[in-house]
Amino acid sequence: MEEKKQTAVFVPRKKEWLLVLLSTIAAYIYVSSIFQFPGEQSNFWIFNDWQWSDVMTIFVVFFLAAGASCAYINKIKIEKEHMIFMAFTVAGGFWFLIFRKNVDQDITGYLVLFLHLTAVYWLVSLGGKRLYNCLNECCILDLLKGLFCFPAMHGYRLILACCNGAACLINKSKRNQQQMKQALLGILFSIPLFLIVICLLVTADHTFWQFCNNISLLAQPNSLTIIQLIMTGIVALYLFGLFYGCFYVASQGKTKKLTVAPSVASGFMILFLLVYTLFFVVKLGSIPASLRQIEEGTLLTSTYARNGFFQLCWIASINFVIFTGIKWYAAERKKSLTVQLSILGVQTLGFIILAFSRMQFYIVNYGLTFKRVFTTWFMGVLFITFLLMILSLVKKFNAVRLSVYLACTSFLILAYSNIPAWVYS
C-alpha cells in the first residue's frame, strides 16, 4: 500500500491576524495625514474631504483603541501610570481637532513629536516592557526600545502572519471544496441584483460615490498613489513590530541593574566640576566689561545675547545625562559622591540662569517670538528638573517621574494657550 503524503498543518494565529489588520488600518490613516500640508484637505482614499488635523486626531484615537484592545486580549490591567500617559496622548491628539483652523503654528511640529513619544512610551509601559517596569532614569532607553528596537526586530513578522493566514485559508479551502463551490455559485447568482443596489447607493449619497470612485482609481493608480501604498506598507511593518514587541514577546524577567564603582563615578565627574568652576570664575569677571561694551556701542545686544546661549543649553542637557546616569548606576552613593552630584547640579542651575538671562536680555530688546517663548519654557523645565534632582539626593523620591509629568503638562498648556495670538497681542 502506498503511504499517504502528510500535509503540513498550519495553526491559525488569530491574534497576529488581528494585529495585522489593526496595524494596516492605523498605517493607512497615518500615511493619509502626512501626504499633505497642515491646513490642506487630505487627497488619499476615503479621507479626500477631511482636514489634515481631523485625520491626525482619528489616528491618535485609533492607535489608543488598538493598544487598549491588545491589552484587553492579553488580560493586562491598565494602571494609573498608563492612564496618565494615555491622557497626555489624548490631549495632544485633540489639540489638532480644537485648533483645526489654526493648525499651521510653529508648535505643530513639536506637538507631533510629543505625540509620538508619549504614545510609544504608553504602549511600552502598558505592555510591561520597560527595563525596570517604572518611570525612572532609564525612560530614554525604554523610549529607544519602543521607537527603534521593537519595529526593527519584529516588523518582519507581519509578512509571516500574512503567509500563515493565506496558508490556513488554502488548507481550509482544500478540505471544504464542495462548500467553496456552493458559496461561489451563490455569489454568482447575486451579482445582477448587487449591481442594481450599488447604482442606487451611489446616486443616493455623494460621499459614497466618491468612495467608490476612489476604489476604481486604485485599479489604475498614479505614481503618487503607488508611493502612498508603499508608505502604508512600511508604516504597517513598523506599527506591527511595535505592537508585537510590546504585547506578544515574553518579558525577560527582572533586569539586572548595571553598577559602577563610586570611585569610578567620582573620577568621571571631577574634570567636569573643575572646568565648570573655572568657567564661572572667568565669566563672572567678564560680565561688567561686556555690559560696558554694550553701552559704548562696540558690542551689539543681539550678539551678546546669542553668543554662547545654545552652547550653555547643550551643556545643561549633557549634565542631565551625567547626573542621572551616575545617580542611577553608582553601586553605592557615598557622602563624597553625593556632594559631587550636588555641586554638578548647582553648577548646572548656574548655566541655566546664565542662558535664561541672555534670552531675557534678547526679549527685552527685540520682543517675543514663538522660538523665544519655547526656549524660555524649555529652560524653565530644565531648571525645575535639576532642582528636583538635587532635592532627591537629600530626600528620596522619584525626581525623574515628577519632571516628566511637569514637562508634558506644561508643554500641553503651552500648546493650548494659542501662542501666536497672545504673542501678537
Consecutive H or E run containing 408: helix 399-416
Secondary structure (3-state) at 227: helix
Rounded-to-integer distance, Cα 107 and Cα 124, Å: 26
Rounded-to-integer distance, Cα 292 and Cα 287, Å: 9
Give residue-wise pLDDT tens across range 246-269: 999 887 656 666 778 888 888 999
State yes or no: pLDDT of 24 exceeds 90: yes
**pLDDT at res. 369:** 84
Q: What are phi and psi of 51, to 5 degrees?
A: -75, 155
**pLDDT at res. 197:** 82
**pLDDT at res. 217:** 57
Consecutive H or E run containing 90: helix 80-98
pLDDT mean over 384-396:
92
338: number of Cβ within 10 Å = 14
Query: Which residue is associated with the grid cell 574634570?
Result: 271
Give residue-wise pLDDT tens across range 351-363: 999 888 888 877 8
- Sign of the alpha-carbon dihedral angle for 25, 26, 27, 28: positive
Rounded-to-integer distance, Cα 77 and Cα 74, Å: 9
**pLDDT at res. 255:** 60
Query: Which residue is associated with the grid cell 511640529?
Result: 109
33: number of Cβ within 10 Å = 24
**pLDDT at res. 158:** 93
Of the ranges 227-241, 247-261, 322-336, which one carries the lowest mean pLDDT score?
247-261
Residue (of 355, 274, 372) closest to 308 by Cα position:
355
Q: Letter for the amino acid at 236?
A: A
Secondary structure (3-state) at 319: helix
Q: Mean pLDDT of all residues in the chain?
A: 83
State yes or no: pLDDT of 406 exceeds 90: yes
Question: What percent of the chain is predicted at pLDDT more than 90?
Answer: 38
* pTM metric for this prediction: 0.83
**pLDDT at res. 252:** 65
Give residue-wise pLDDT tens across range 294-314: 777 766 666 666 676 778 888
DSSP state of 4: P
State yes or no: pLDDT of 337 exceeds 70: yes
Give residue-wise pLDDT tens across range 85-96: 999 999 999 999
The answer to whether 127 and 154 have CB atoms below 8 angstroms apart is no
State yes or no: pLDDT of 84 exceeds 70: yes
